[in-house]
Amino acid sequence: MERLKRHPVGFWVCSLPPSLWLLAFFLVPLGFVWVLGFGEKRGLIDVEITWTLENYIRALDPLYLGIFAKSIWISAVTTVICLVVGLPVALGIVFAPPRWKPVLLLLVILPFWTNLLIRTYALIAVLRTRGYVNFTLEWGADALGLPFEPLALLYNNTAVIIGLVYVHLPFMVLPLYAALERLDRSLIEAALDLGASQLRAFLTIVVPLAMPGIITGVILVFIPSLGSYLTPDLLGGTDSQMISNVIERQFKKANDWPFGAALSFLLMYVTFGALAIRAVLARRRERLVSP
């Protein structure tokens, strides 16, 4: 790094190809979509850029605001569940014997070895009316002589949340593990020796020290969940669609690209808002920690 600072030409030579790639295949197409949001649909496939705000005004219709609110709610519930489940899992990996840590981390990232579409269809096999969950519950009810009605676990909001938690849980566990791995265990022992209960030691020692991992995990789960398309499309019903599914229909079935572009950028603005909140929280934490 010091050598690159002394020779800026080398720095520019190394950074120019990825910068051009980012500009050509990300920023420029994104700029086209942003401009498209200010256009008007003319006929079946023609779009005229008139710099109108009609698409954004239409996006503020209560119907679409309700879908936005439901998408945020589902993403928030998914994030909370991932945090509640992922924190004990990360703690278990941190306090596991050294020879078991690689195995446990491998199990966490193992779902990434399978395509998301295949995993989602596997969830359909698990959650459907004659799926593994209902089959197991029915078998247990028959063994106990109890009546049983199959549970409606598929094509509703519950199925979408289950699918999103299943997909995004590793994104919560890994940042938590990275933060907790640097935890000084002597602090926990000192708190317990001074009379603190295990719960109080957890809340006053573990949680504050794990806060960077918690914030990172929340961002890594909430933002992809908010923009998730495949999971609600396959696991959700007609009343369980999220804003990404509405955007997809505007670009395909409705063929209304300007309105779809406006919805896309409204979703991006929400994402930027979440990142801004994360930056504010991180800055505030730095002020509290620094003397």
Is the full-model pTM beyond 0.85? yes
Contacts 24+ apart (CB under 8 A), 44-48: 44/255, 45/255, 47/257, 47/258
Lowest-confidence region among 3-17, 155-169, 270-284: 3-17
Predicted pLDDT at 289: 57
| CB 142, CB 121: distance < 8 Å | no
In 3-state terms, what secondary structure has residue 46? Answer: strand
In 3-state terms, what secondary structure has residue 258? Answer: helix
Please compute the mean of the pLDDT values over residues 165-170 and round it to a whole number: 94
Q: pLDDT tens digits, residue range 80-133?
A: 999 999 999 999 999 899 899 999 999 999 888 888 999 999 999 999 888 888
Predicted pLDDT at 82: 96
Instruction: Give the homologous superfamily in CATH for domain 68-289.
Output: MetI-like (1.10.3720.10)
Domain limits of the chain?
68-289
| CB 224, CB 238: distance < 8 Å | no
Please compute the mean of the pLDDT values over residues 56-74 and round it to a whole number: 92
| CB 234, CB 124: distance < 8 Å | yes
Q: Where does the pLDDT of residue 291 fall: very low under 50, low under 70, confident under 90, or very high at 90 and above? A: low
- The 3-state DSSP composition of the chain as helix, strand, coil percent (nearest 5) reads 75, 5, 20
What's the CA gap between 126 and 120, in Å, rounded? 10
What's the CA gap between 60 and 274, in Å, rounded? 20
Place of tokens 């710099």: 51
Q: Where does the pLDDT of residue 5 fall: very low under 50, low under 70, confident under 90, or very high at 90 and above? A: low
Predicted pLDDT at 41: 85
